[in-house]
A and B are shown apart, each in its own frame.
Chain A
Amino acid sequence: MTEEVSAQHELFAMPEQRSLWQDALEQLMRNRLAIFGVFVAFLLVFVSIFGPWLSPYDYTQQNLFRINEGPSADHWLGTDGLGRDMLTRILHGARTAFLVGLIVTIGTTVLGVVLGAAGAFLGGWVDALVMRLADITMAFPDILLAAFISVVFREKVLELQLQLQEQYGWTLSQGNRVYLDYLVIFGSLTLVQWYGKARLVRGQILSLREKEFIEAERALGASNWTIILSHLVPNSLGPLIVSITVGFGGAMLSEASLSFLGVGIQPPGASWGEMISDNLGQWRFNPHLVVMPGVVLAIVVLGFNFLGDGLNDALNPEQRRR
């Protein structure tokens, strides 16, 4: 019996076994746009960690004798209306964008996976509650809701911080309140963007549960945890990874949008969106001040979108576009 099988193996020259992940990696490496996305993501991580050491200036340092300059040897990308070095501010904006992307993605993923899985497994009123919450969040115009939440909570967090300072003498801010903007943005964006992942996880679990191979496993007597760990998790990981990548870019974009509208990162904090709206007033006279943060933002958002697309093609072969 075993000899027969191995003889068959030789006869048909079975290709060497490869896992989904090896296949996916190979597929991804062949996609030039996705490689561009990987490059952008690595560059963003590098710059957001080492940014402050890459430039001789501080992002809040003003030089009022040299305002609105074009690119020069001292200031590679010129200076803005307050004489701050544009390159330094763009580098620091990368830190803002990366932090927001990271924290908001972690927040929405944890919230989404927990709520989605709870809905799918527990069913009944839990499921109804989660789905209704998602419906309600979806019903709002998301940027306006995030703007509203951040405006309301900025004041509350500030009050709380002042109380802490009075009671215990904790000084978190030391004059610079940028950390406050970060906190508010993390919270408001997480509250607005969690539902996509919850719906995704719930849908994946519900549809996988009905598949034949799960039924077969159950017929063989596998326990619930075996099914969850060795079938449900690996199978829904692909779509979730894609959603996380796209969500990372989306969170950075939302931060830029909120800051552009004036309810996100406040000056002197550096954010690409805030830099665009800050310099928009002088687009006629100093167009480069508007274009540079805009181009950087566009490249990063595009990179993450291409990476998400590439990952989608690589990890979800059954829904690959023709």
Chain B
Amino acid sequence: MLAPTVIIVMLITFTLGYYGPIDPVRAVLGEEWEDETRYAEVKKALGLDRPFMIQFLDYMGTMFGGNWGQSLAAFGGTASDRAVSEGRGAGYSGTSTSVREMVLGRLVISAQLSLWALVFLTVFAILLGVLAAVKQNTTIDYAIVTSSIVASSIPAYVIGPVLLIIFVLKIPVFKTVGGWDGMFSRQAILPAIVLATGPMLVIVRQTRAGIVEVLGKDFVRTARAKGLPERLVVARHMLRTAMIPVLTSMGLVTSGLLTGSLFVEQIFNIPGIGKLAIQTLMSGDHPVFMGVVLFQALIIVTVNLLTDLLYGGLDPRVTYD
């Protein structure tokens, strides 16, 4: 189930890369590419003189072997200069040319950003969802649901600049923006908020629906009848039941954050995995770009599978053959 999908995903990215617009040899050689002997030399070094099928099988071998190949920067020349000028490499300022190290190094940054976004989501979105459910069909409810539709519909590259203008130019809360200075720096706050607006609607809606469903249930009435304060009825009894669908969707939300952070990274100039993808797509460093796409596809497929399994585990009525 999982393996064939991944292999076909690999075949598609490889074919696209093979017919890609930027000749890897020219990306490495730069202006020197017209020199025929150098061209043939580099082509051989990159393994591009072999037939398509052999190249693909070789590529599959390196991917499954756990070594994801080398960035074009490893072959020196223009590609390497370009990578250095773009600040690419493992981690923030590393110089590794192994695709795996580059992807995993950047993933750490994207993951930290996503973690903050998840924290904001669990705190604010669940709180708003509960509030909307408890004040069902009042102005507060409509205001919460509508504003989360607004927040989630507007893309990050509109919210991001607007927040920058408000919180940097109009009310100077933040002085330095852009770049990445570790998870606990002030620079991480704005990007994480922008990233969290995307899946906000899903969480608010699910929390609200979950709470509304249990509002009139017997166990809630019992909890109230025994004199529990309303606050505790909501927190201990309602929320616990309502959280099951929210928790299962958290997996999808996380994979969405990890694969969707590229706009936020682009705006705030954060060297995460999305930024790496865009940089390498533009400069024609296909081994790295394909590595990122494959890695993200792997995250998506795995999370989908886990969500299905988790759903089955939490709800005994769902079965799989």
Chain A residues in the interface with B (C-beta under 8 A): 33, 132, 135-136, 138-141, 143-145, 147-149, 151-152, 154-156, 253, 256-257, 260-263, 273, 276-277, 280, 283-284, 287, 290-291, 294-295, 297-298, 301-302, 305-306, 309, 321-322
Contacts and interface: CB of A to CB of B under 8 A. Distances in A.
B293 A144 contact: yes
Contact of B154 (A262, A283, A298): A298
A283 B19 contact: no
B68 interface: no
B162 interface: yes
Contacts of A306: 149
Contacts of B154: 297-298, 301-302
B263 A260 contact: yes
B133 to A, nearest CB: 10
B122 to A, nearest CB: 23
Given A141-B300, A152-B20, A305-B153, A262 B158 contact: no
B282 A152 contact: no
Given A140-B300, A262-B278, 13 more contacts: A138-B304, A140-B297, A147-B281, A151-B20, A155-B20, A260-B263, A263-B281, A284-B168, A297-B158, A298-B154, A302-B150, A305-B149, A306-B149
14 contacts: A138-B304, A144-B277, A149-B16, A155-B21, A156-B19, A260-B266, A262-B278, A283-B164, A294-B157, A294-B161, A294-B162, A302-B154, A322-B136, A322-B209
B40 interface: no
Contact of B157 (A149, A156, A273): A273
3 nearest A-B pairs in the assembled complex, by CB-CB distance: A155-B21, A294-B158, A141-B259
A142 to B, nearest CB: 9
A287 B160 CA distance: 12
Given A263-B281, A306-B149, A138 B21 contact: no
- The contact size tier of chain B is 35 or more
B161 A152 contact: no
B296 to A, nearest CB: 4
Contact of A144 (B20, B136, B162, B292): B292
A143 B13 CA distance: 14
Contacts of B304: 138-139
B9 A291 contact: no
Interface of B: 5-6, 8-9, 12-13, 16, 19-21, 136, 146, 149-150, 153-155, 157-158, 161-162, 164-165, 168-169, 209, 212, 259-260, 262-263, 266-267, 277-278, 281-282, 289, 292-293, 296-297, 300-301, 304
Nearest to A159: B21
B21 A154 contact: yes
B162 A291 contact: yes
Main secondary structure of the interface of B (DSSP, over half): helix
B153 A144 contact: no
Contact of A140 (B20, B153, B293): B293
A262 B150 CA distance: 25
Contact of A276 (B150, B157, B169): B157
A211 B86 CA distance: 59
Contacts of B212: 322
A141 B164 contact: no
Contacts of B289: 148
A241 to B, nearest CB: 19
A261 B266 CA distance: 8
Nearest to A145: B293
Given A136-B8, A263-B281, A253 B155 contact: yes
A11 B260 CA distance: 61
A273 B54 CA distance: 40
A149 B266 CA distance: 20
A280 B155 contact: no
A135 B7 CA distance: 13
A298 B153 contact: yes
B155 A151 contact: no
B177 to A, nearest CB: 10
A141 B150 CA distance: 23
A298 B136 CA distance: 27
Contacts of B153: 298, 301-302, 305
Interface centre among B146, B260, B281, by most A CB within 10 Å?
B281
Contacts of B20: 151-152, 155
A263 to B, nearest CB: 7
Nearest to A261: B278
A310 to B, nearest CB: 12
Nearest to A135: B5
Contacts of A155: 20-21
Nearest to A321: B209
Contacts of A138: 300, 304
B12 to A, nearest CB: 7
B165 A287 contact: yes
Contacts of A136: 5, 8-9, 12
